[in-house]
Structure 1
Amino acid sequence: MDFREATLGDLSKIVQMLADDELGKIRERYETPLPDSYVKAFEAIDSDPNNELIVACLGEEIVGVLQITFTPYITHQGGWRATVEGVRTVSSERGKGLGSKLILRAVERAKARNCHLIQLTTDKKREDALRFYERLGFVATHEGMKMKL
């Protein structure tokens, strides 16, 4: 498996993966052509040195994706954190260790950027995802709060 930063040409496959589960079906709009909002978001991520959209490839086929954002904080003595979002694998590859390799890649990137912490959120409805992240060493240390705007 190879990892690389996503290109605009990968965007359709990325959105397809994001839409391929029960919650994604509700949140995402995988259609041709893709809504322009996805292109604008990709361009913003791609132009920001503190954001990476990483794809996992088996040969030429994209089989996984995640976004990692690096953020400086005043807390923790001005330390940096890495936040992982949008983790998905193609349904045909689930349960084969791909997701673990993808997350471990994010951990490597966070260490390379001298982050003191890597964090992520997952929907409480995703019980399998919660167990998956716990197996990889993530600990539910905080109660997260969100407000839709």
Structure 2
Amino acid sequence: MEYKTATLEHLPAIVRLLAEDELGASRERFEDPLPEEYRTAFAKIQQQSGNSIVVAVHDEDVIGCLQLTIIPGLSRLGMTRGQIEGVRVDSRYRSQGIGEALLRHAIETAREMDCQLIQLTTDKSRKSAHHFYEKLGFVASHEGMKLAIDNYIS
């Protein structure tokens, strides 16, 4: 298995992984051709320094992915942190260490980019994911919140 920064040719496989997920099934659209929104979003990720999609590739097939964003900050004496999102492993390859290896690769990449902290969010309903992240040393130290901009009352 090798890890690569995703290119446009990997995009359909990434969207497939996002849509294959039980939560993603209701919010993603894996179609041929892909909705243009995915191409637009991918282009924005590629243009933003410190933001990338990492894919795990086995025999030319994308079998896992995640998004790693490097976030410079002022708090904690100017600490740089890595944000991991969208972790997915092809259902045919789960429980084989792919997710762990992919996360370890992302953590090492973040370390090389001078990050002192890695953070991620995971849906409260994903109990097995919580256990998986805890095994890797992640601690549920904060309570996260989200706001859909359409619901914002100004």
Q: Could you state the TM-score of these two structures normalised by the residue count of structure 1? A: 0.98
Q: Which residue is 1:99 aligned to?
A: 99
What's the CA shift string for 1:56-98, capped at 9, x where partnerless? Answer: 0112111000000001111011111100001001100001100
What is the aligned length? 149
Identity %: 48
Counterpart AA for 1:91: S
Q: Which residue is 2:79 aligned to?
A: 79
Aligned residue for 1:22, secondary structure, equals coil
Q: Take 1:147 and 1:46, find their aligned partners in 2: how far apart are those partners?
A: 25
RMSD across aligned C-alpha pairs, in angstroms?
0.7
State the Cα distance separating 1:14 from its structure 2 match: 0.4
Q: Take 1:75 and 1:48, find their aligned partners in 2: how far apart are those partners?
A: 22
Q: Which residue is 2:45 aligned to?
A: 45
Matched, 1:69 2:99: no
- Give unpaired runs (5+ residues) of structure 1: none
Q: Which residue is 2:30 aligned to?
A: 30
- Give unpaired runs (5+ residues) of structure 2: 150-154
Aligned residue for 2:83, secondary structure, equals strand
Moved over 4 A (4+): none
Counterpart AA for 1:101: A
State the Cα distance separating 1:130 from its structure 2 match: 0.5
State the Cα distance separating 1:108 from its structure 2 match: 0.3
Q: Take 1:22 and 1:50, find their aligned partners in 2: how far apart are those partners?
A: 29
Q: Take 1:106 and 1:10, find their aligned partners in 2: how far apart are those partners?
A: 18
Q: Take 2:53 and 2:145, find their aligned partners in 1: how far apart are those partners?
A: 24
State the Cα distance separating 1:5 from its structure 2 match: 0.5
Q: Take 2:56 and 2:91, find their aligned partners in 1: how far apart are those partners?
A: 14
